Amino acid sequence: MRHLVFIFTALLFVGCASSEPDSYETSGEKTPLKSRADGSTSYENATEGNIIVAADESFRPIMEAMQEVYTLRHNKAKIKVVYLPAEEAIKALIESDSIRLAVVARTLRSDESDELISQNTSGKIKPIAQDALALVVHSSNTISRINTDQLSGIVSGEVTQWSELGLKNEQDLSLVFDHVSSSSIQFLRDSVLKGGAIAPKKGFAAGNTPDVIAYVSKNPQAMGIIGLGWISDKDGSAARALRSQVKVLAMVPDGECPYENDAYEPYQGPMKAGCYPLVRTVFAISREVDYGLGTGFINYMADASRGQRLVLKAGLIPAIAPPRKLRFPVAGR
């Protein structure tokens, strides 16, 4: 009897720990969206229709995976993702009713929420994952770790040479990022500089993440700042190819860390344990009021048994832990 009570209690715990959002699928009932010029009405539901999603370029690898799997599963779902700098993605969501979702690394400001409300749209927000910024340098660079104060000095312009980081190198340090309106710049300004100005002595925007990595791989004096998702999928050939071109720096924890090392690269374990300081949350923001394809897709991305498994495989931290199937021994067997 005690064995049965234990099994029931354990199963109940597993069920509670793996709570999921509402299913992204519906019974199939279609929602009328808008009237066409000829007087007819277009319809869609959670798994059928056409939508456009504006996503931060930092999250392109995980968004491509989400888009591919969802549209393979639901062949009547047409999802187009346009990749923009973070601020442009949010602006597109607010200003264009053709954009259903935005996937970015921040929530909406009050003025942005108010604007969506004034348009009778939802502004519904769901966390999708935890990502991180990765610092990359040339493979010949002898530096292996950095702390937040040193990074703050680099992005503010107070640290200008590699020698100031303890290297026997009098060359100027060149900081490379993807875009001036990127979520990486936003995170550095808000979380590292606490609102201070980003003004490195030598710094420029390469345009996108692959170009950042390409530049760093050819310039020994450069340091690149990229979204981790581009290089975190250990099983992905594209991620492995990009990671092989550069060296990823470890970072010293800002606070308490349950592990014993002095510094950590951005892997899932250190990120989840709070040992890697440059972690950020990825949010999906919807302007959809009716239960259409946008709602189906955002719920799929946040579904613990579906989209969150893609997040885990990509080397990021799921917003909702995917459920684990546990087997318990039965008495007498």
CB 266, CB 136: distance < 8 Å: no
Q: What are phi and psi of 189, to 5 degrees?
A: -65, -45
To the nearest whole number, what is the mean pLDDT of the chain? 87
Task: State mean pLDDT over 135-162.
Answer: 96
Distance CA 14, CA 22 (A): 18
Cα gap 264→73, rounded to integer Å? 37
Residue with more model confidence, 289 or 215: 215
- CA distances (Å), 29 to each of 122, 140, 292, in order? 20, 59, 10
Convert 254-289 to b/e letters by CB count within 10 Å (16 or more is b). eeebeeeeebbbbbbebbeeebbbbbbebbbbbbbe
Task: Identify the pLDDT of residue 24.
Answer: 56
Query: For 243-292, how does the pLDDT look when each residue is reduced to its tens digit (9 = 90+)?
Result: 999 999 999 999 899 999 999 999 999 999 999 999 999 999 999 988 89
Distance of alpha carbon 290 from alpha carbon 122, whole angstroms: 9
Q: What digits encode the pLDDT tens for the residues 60-118?
A: 999 999 999 999 999 999 999 999 999 999 999 999 989 999 999 999 999 999 999 99
* Integer Cα distance of 308 and 289 in angstroms: 24
332: phi > 0 → left, psi -120 to 50 → alpha, else beta; which? left
Alpha-carbon distance 38 to 273, whole Å?
A: 57
- Does residue 324 or residue 20 have the better pLDDT? 324
Percent of the chain surpassing pLDDT 90 = 76
